[in-house]
Structure 1
Amino acid sequence: MSIVELRQYTLRPGARETLIELFEREFVTGQQAVGITVGGRFRDLDDPNRFVWLRAFPDMARRRRSLEAFYGGPVWQEHRDAANATMTDSDDVLLLRGPGFTPGPGAAEVLATVCHPPGATAFDVYAARHLGPGHALHRTEHAENDFPRLPVRTGEDVRVWFGPAQPPPWPTRILRLEPVTA
């Protein structure tokens, strides 16, 4: 299992395609060069001003080193102003433990479920009945964020998975996502 960030950016009206083009051209390879695995990148089908993406790290120590290298490195330094100009909020980030997720070729729509279950036992019963290995189940990583320059949401316990499933009986948000293709 990897350390995974589920990042949801709120963008200025009309700026999503600008960010996606910059992201695909510069930030995917720029992050990969410092050891970050860039996973799925998505347009939120229910919010034209939202960009959702995932990135993964082998562990928390390598997360910190990779983020230091990327955000202190030449790719981010050259393009950060252009990227930041598209965003109104980049702090909606869940720090998770799981397999990561990249949609299969030709996927037109992906469902991502963010669930706040009341406890591990109740969720495990639900998951055994409704989720399989293809759902790429993730759980909150409760380790302290050791790269505070990039905030993460804290104080909540979530489960996140990808693909259709019967909705759980707990507070849940389902994201309808369109994969970005390079």
Structure 2
Amino acid sequence: MTDLTGKRIAFLATDGFEDSELTSPWAAVTDAGATAVMIAPEAGSIEGKNGHTQQVDEISASADPSAYDAIVLPGGVVNADHLRMDAASVAFAKAFFEASKPVGAICHAAWLLIEADVVDGRTITSYPSLATDLKNAGADWVDEEVVVDQGLVSSRTPDDLPAFNAKVIEEISEGRHEGQQA
């Protein structure tokens, strides 16, 4: 496994996240030596759709993207829908593209990327119901387990987590990707 010691990884989510799409990548990056930090629109804790509770470390309105090496965006319909309506969360996610930093997005998290206006011209996958939304935003949507496009790692469902986690760790270890732009 690649060593991510010294790396700080932001996880951005809110209530209604897909539990395994937070807990599995979180375990993968921390097992690789990184520090994972939970960012959410509000302080306190957030709860996944299946009951996992996660303490919030920072709120998106005051979190500094420059303090992180990468961001992971868990899915979940309710989570993604609420995040894309939160301007601070959208701006926080977009800042990683502006800084050419790795981004991991799984399942419905691609909605947030559409709102951040960062998918035009990118090859991406997601939960299949987002295909039309992504195509309408200019993305080349493909139905694959995991897709990597210049530091953007995307996957479809919890079934894809092993491949997603491996590629997220690989992209974080590679660092900035000049093709990763807003």
Considering fraction of residues, name the structure with more helix.
2
Q: What is the TM-score with the length of structure 1 in the denominator?
A: 0.28
- Name the structure, 1 or 2, with higher relative contact order (CA <8 Å, separation 6+): 1
Q: What is the TM-score with the length of structure 2 in the denominator?
A: 0.28
